[in-house]
Amino acid sequence: MAAVPAFDVDRSSPTPLYFQLAQAIEGAITGGDLPAGSRLENEILLAQRYGLSRPTVRRAVQELVDKGLLVRKRGVGTQVIQPHVRRSVELTSLYEDLASGGEAPTTKVLSLQRVPAPAAVADELDLAEGDEIVVLRRLRYSRGEPLALMTNHLPGRFSPTAEELSERGLYQYLRAQGVHLRVAHQRIGARLARAEEARLLDEPPRAALLTMQRTAFDDQGAAVEFGRHVYRASRYDFEATLVGR
């Protein structure tokens, strides 16, 4: 059972008491004092510790449940969970987004092979059906936890190695090959996990997954990559800014 670090409740502050407690707990989580998997003391003990009412403590805990930092589990109590990865909808790779956010990304290459392009993939890459393509399948980790299962298709002129794809993101590899990424067509959706996906992503059978399909083009308008990815909905969000006309 993890104890929330001591903090002074300021009853003269205009900041509500529940929010002061929520901020203290959130600071302990983001600062590493309450790592993922830690269980909080129950509401009665927290109320006694800080001289607060149980409704105040309950509201503070609910605030953090709503933010995706805590989860209530029957028979277990209130537990700290891994924070969601929030990714802007931009033409960047998952590896780059995780690295810039301090999420310590790592990659396991599950397969890397050259195959004839099936019709659907050939259409996306503007190739003839049967042209040689490179298909790579990778499992991306964030802070040591599986986050995404990624399948990418490249035109046959590229020759990435498993070592290169383990050490950096796909878009970094493409840029090193002289590719200037310019635009992408992307579609985001959701579905239930298949058995292998659930196993690889450490999710329950038929857990909810976010899906993303993307075709990326270089500055000459040529398709250079077609990807189909699935992400753990329990740990991953797409984020976009919308602007009115």
Model pLDDT for residues 156-205, shown as the tens digit of each residue: 999 999 999 998 889 999 999 999 988 888 899 999 999 999 999 999 99
Shortest CA distance to 169 belongs to which of 116, 222, 91, 231? 91
**Separation between Cα atoms, residue 87 and residue 76, nearest integer Å:** 31
Q: Which residues, 6 or more positions from 58, have their beta carbon under 8 angstroms from its beta carbon?
A: 43
Please report which helix (H) or strand (E) contains residue 86, including its range.
Answer: strand 85-88
Residue ranges of the chain assigned to CATH 3.40.1410.10: 85-239
What Å distances lie between residue 94 and 36, 54, 143, 239, CA to CA?
22, 41, 14, 13
The segment(s) of the chain belonging to CATH 1.10.10.10 are 17-80
Nearest C-alpha neighbor of 78 from the set 53, 48, 45, 52? 45
Cβ neighbours around 125 below 10 Å, total: 20
The pair of structure tokens assigned to 102 is: 């301090």
pLDDT range class, residue 221, cuts 50, 70, 90? confident
- Spatial contact of 201 and 232, defined as CB atoms under 8 Å apart: yes
pTM over 0.85: no
**Percentage of the chain exceeding pLDDT 90:** 41
Q: Is 144 helix (H, G, I), strand (E, B) or coil?
A: coil
- List pLDDT tens digits, range 61-88: 888 887 777 887 777 788 887 665 555 4
- At residue 75, the pLDDT reads 73
SS3 content of the chain, % helix, strand, coil (to 5): 30, 35, 35
Distance CA 49, CA 45 (A): 6
- Residue from 202, 199, 158 nearest 176 by CA: 158
Domain 85-239 = CATH 3.40.1410.10: yes
Given the candidates 1.10.10.10, 2.60.40.1580, 3.40.50.170, 1.20.210.10, the CATH classification of the domain at 17-80 is 1.10.10.10
Q: What six digits make up the tokens of 52?
A: 């607060």
Q: Which of 137, 133, 136 shows the shortest CA–CA distance to 114?
A: 133
- Lowest-confidence pick of 4-8, 34-38, 214-218, 233-237: 4-8
